[in-house]
């Protein structure tokens, strides 16, 4: 739905802003480029990257970000220059990523075999209400795949 609205906006700009003056052409070009950005996550956190050109060809290497994205059941996003992002937060092996009430964080994962008490934290509850996916970090803290607030 969002992409449809952006496409319609671009079409309105194109049809209503036709001009032979250089300044109008430059303004139209920057409006179109503004819709060419992709949002996602890499190992450093939330990112905005330029979309890949339609004719871009990347080598068949499997990048660590792709593996991490598959592990958390996200969707891989291919950006310009063959950069890889994920639709949800990812982290390197042994780490987890997500949002708490304060910010986006990357922290240690819950050690294998460790079990947390079945207490629903305020972050866990807020994440579920926001439609996010909960990840449990070390010390049984809950991280969310989407921004949450109290």
Tens of pLDDT, residues 7-36: 433 333 333 333 333 333 333 222 334 558
Whether the predicted pLDDT of 125 surpasses 80: yes
Whether the predicted pLDDT of 60 surpasses 70: yes
Rounded to an integer, the average pLDDT of 60-88 is: 92
Is there a contact between 93 and 71 (Cβ–Cβ < 8 Å)?
no
Per residue in 76-123, pLDDT tens?
999 999 899 999 999 999 999 999 999 999 999 999 888 888 778 999
Whether the predicted pLDDT of 59 surpasses 70: yes
117: CB partners within 8 A, 6+ apart: 140
CA dist 98 and 90 (Å) reads 8
Reading the block at residue 141, the tokens are 């803290």
Token pair 């509850």 is at which residue? 125
pTM of the model: 0.69
Task: Characterize the bridge pairing of strands 142-144 and 84-86.
Answer: unpaired
Task: Please tell me the least confidently modeled range out of 50-64, 79-93, 128-142.
Answer: 50-64
CA dist 88 and 48 (Å) reads 13
């Amino acid at each position: 739905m969002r992409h449809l609205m952006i496409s319609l906006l671009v079409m309105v700009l194109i049809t209503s802003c036709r001009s032979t003056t250089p300044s109008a052409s430059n303004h139209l070009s920057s409006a179109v480029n503004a819709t060419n950005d992709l949002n996602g996550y890499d190992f450093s956190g939330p990112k905005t990257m330029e979309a890949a050109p339609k004719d871009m060809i990347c080598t068949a290497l499997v990048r660590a970000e792709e593996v991490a994205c598959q592990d958390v059941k996200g969707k891989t996003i291919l950006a310009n220059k063959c950069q890889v992002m994920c639709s949800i937060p990812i982290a390197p092996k042994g780490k987890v990523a997500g949002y708490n009430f304060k910010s986006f964080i990357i922290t240690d994962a819950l050690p294998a075999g460790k079990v947390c008490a079945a207490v629903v934290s305020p972050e866990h509850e807020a994440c579920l209400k926001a439609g996010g996916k909960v990840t449990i970090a070390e010390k049984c803290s809950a991280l969310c795949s989407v921004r949450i607030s109290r």
